Chains A and B, each alone.
Chain A
Amino acid sequence: MRGFIKTLFGDQRTLSVVGLSILVAVVVLHSPAELAAGLALPVSLLAGAAYLARH
């Protein structure tokens, strides 16, 4: 069961990276610079991948 859940959602770090990235995208999307959300999410996720690679 643990393997099942980890496969579906990853570990805590992965969940935090994706959660924070989506949060950043939502904040940008509801700001005057909403067009930049299309850049904010990919950049945040790539930064998250960099963090996951190191940890």
Chain B
Amino acid sequence: MIASLIATFLAALVEWVEAYTIILAVALSIGWRRALAAAGGALLVLAVLTGAGSFILTRINDLYILQLVVGILLTLFGVRWLGKAVARGAGLKQLHDEDAEFAALRARSDIHDRRAAWFIAFNGTLLEGLEVWLIVVALGVQMHHTLAAAGAALLALGVVAAAGVLLRKPLARVPENVIKFTVGAAMLSFGSFWVLEALGYHWPLGDATLPALFIFYSAGGLALVRFYAVAIGDVKVI
């Protein structure tokens, strides 16, 4: 359970940092009150979605079907994040740059329009928060700790908000790619563990397989970073 809460916290931290960049860019155009109202509206939608998602998943009485649904969702999420982190770590894609994102947002012509800017903040927070929502609902329902998972996501929100209040600039020094790599490997571990179990497979080590899977995906991911970096002649660390 601790591992799933740490993964939820880290995933939420990355997403809230990205959402904060959007809110900051919008706030400089239409003011903090309106920007925060837009973000608050998006958070409210996410809270409703969390309740609805948990309610729907807990209606599934068959444990194996629930494991399969949650496992597939987490696997889809994990393979995407691990692939993205490997590509960025190896230099195949540019690292996510909050300062550049902020500058691009500030350069948008519609950010000075009050309604358009409100929508940018609302939509940005909602889309960044959807990945947090997915993890909170999937891990929370499967581990029977939705409130604790939501608490971990809210704690991350508090940390980002506090850093934002203190710094008043994009949080560019958060090691986003390392976090995405770690969370991607963790989500793949949970996802593949539950998918196979739902299909009738009995893991020889039981729950102790989870750390082994995490080590496998992490080591494999690091090997891929090294392989691609060497292939393009750009050896870097994640």
Residues on A lying within 8 angstroms of B by beta carbon are 3-4, 7-10, 14-15, 17-18, 21-22, 25-26, 29, 34-35, 37-38, 41-42, 45-46, 48-54
Contacts and interface: CB of A to CB of B under 8 A. Distances in A.
Nearest to A46: B220
Contacts of A37: 196, 199, 201
A35 B203 CA distance: 9
Taking residues whose C-beta sits less than 8 angstroms from the other chain, chain B's interface range is 35 or more
Interface secondary structure of B, over-half rule = helix
A8 B134 contact: yes
Interface string B142-171: 000000000000000000000000000000
A54 B92 contact: yes
B127 A53 contact: no
Given A3-B130, A49-B79, A49-B83, A42 B217 contact: yes
Contacts of B216: 42, 46
Nearest to A7: B130
B86 A49 contact: yes
Interface of B: 72-73, 75-80, 82-84, 86-87, 90, 92, 123, 127, 130-131, 134, 184, 188, 192, 195-196, 199-201, 203-204, 209, 213, 216-217, 220-221, 224, 228
The 4 A-B residue pairs with the shortest CB-CB distance in the complex, in nearest-first order: A52-B83, A53-B87, A53-B86, A7-B130
B192 A42 contact: yes
A45 B188 CA distance: 8
